[in-house]
Structure 1
Amino acid sequence: MKTNKNYIYETRMEVRDYECDIQGIVNNANYLHYTEHTRHRFIRSLGVSFAELHEKGIDPVVARMHLEYKTPLVCDDEFISRLALRKEGVRYVFTHDLYRAGDERLCFHAEVTLVILTNGKLGPSKEYDEAFAKVIPNF
């Protein structure tokens, strides 16, 4: 696994006590919430409204996830969620790297593949392509 230096978005978050398990570390499922929250903030920063697109029948859905847990986060850790994006055919592949803020140690790495369903059918999305072209030239 190689960390990606072509990040196009980042946001900071903090681990909350209820996200930790009996061992005092973040429960594995919560890392998925962190990556989803990062994608939502990123897409919203581009002026895209999930609700408006959904009303038009345009829905992004997760098709695949590859996850790597590196260093556990614990209660009150502040972390930086960084995101990169590439397109493969009709798929949008998001790279997510979560770093502990205090020492920039990689805690979690994920490749999350999204596809767009328009009125229930898989296909390209002019709306998402145009939004992502704002931050990735020649997208």
Structure 2
Amino acid sequence: MQDYIFEIQLKVRDYECDLQGVVNNAVYQNYLEHARHEYLSSKKTSFKELTEKDILLMVSRIEMDFKRSLTAGDTFSVKLRIAREGLKLLFFQDIFRSADNSLCLKAKVEVIAKVNGKLSRGEIFDTLSL
């Protein structure tokens, strides 16, 4: 069992589906990003506030393993946990369909930070109460 630290519930909108009737693969990145933004918000910060301080958090790599498709009207949860690895903050994010709790996607998102225009050693991840 994963030790998730955050979860958000979402619903698939019709326009997110392709001609085959399933969520387009690129849309999953939007779901993952939205969950990360909401996680930051739950920690009383935002990308906007960080950017105003010249702190830029950027995705450097994403690995996504598609397990099952979501379709229009499905409700689902995005769950995440985090870990530090050198300069990077790793988000391990899983998407589960609510109806049957089936795993639809496993993702690993690597995030780096630039502070005042320079690549950070990752100290900012500690100070964000992550």
In structure 2, the residue corresponding to 1:76 is in which secondary structure?
coil
Matched, 1:124 2:95: no
Q: Identity rate of aligned residues, in percent?
A: 40
C-alpha displacement at 1:128, in angstroms? Answer: 3.0
2-side partners of 1:132 and 1:35: how far apart? 20
Q: Structure 2: give runs of 5+ residues left out of the alignment.
A: none
| Deviates most, 13-22 or 46-55 | 46-55
Alignment match, 1:110: 107
C-alpha displacement at 1:7, in angstroms? Answer: 0.5
Change (3 A) 1:94 1:11: same
1-side partners of 2:49 and 2:122: how far apart? 14
C-alpha displacement at 1:89, in angstroms? Answer: 1.1
In structure 1, the residue corresponding to 2:78 is in which secondary structure?
strand
2-side partners of 1:100 and 1:48: how far apart? 28
Matched, 1:22 2:23: no
In structure 2, the residue corresponding to 1:65 is in which secondary structure?
strand
Alignment match, 2:2: 5
C-alpha displacement at 1:51, in angstroms? Answer: 1.4
Structure 2 matches for 1:1-139, cutoff 5 A? Answer: 5-133=2-130
In structure 2, the residue corresponding to 1:28 is in which secondary structure?
coil
TM-score, normalised on structure 1?
0.89
Q: CA RMSD in A?
A: 1.2
2-side partners of 1:126 and 1:51: how far apart? 19
Q: Structure 1: give runs of 5+ residues left out of the alignment.
A: 134-139
C-alpha displacement at 1:131, in angstroms? Answer: 2.6
C-alpha displacement at 1:130, in angstroms? Answer: 2.5
C-alpha displacement at 1:125, in angstroms? Answer: 4.5
Deviation beyond 2 Å, 4+ runs, structure 1: 124-128, 130-133
C-alpha displacement at 1:57, in angstroms? Answer: 0.8
Equivalent residues of 2:21, 2:71 under 8 A apart: yes
TM-score, normalised on structure 2?
0.95
In structure 2, the residue corresponding to 1:132 is in which secondary structure?
coil
In structure 2, the residue corresponding to 1:108 is in which secondary structure?
strand
Q: How many pairs does the alignment contain?
A: 130
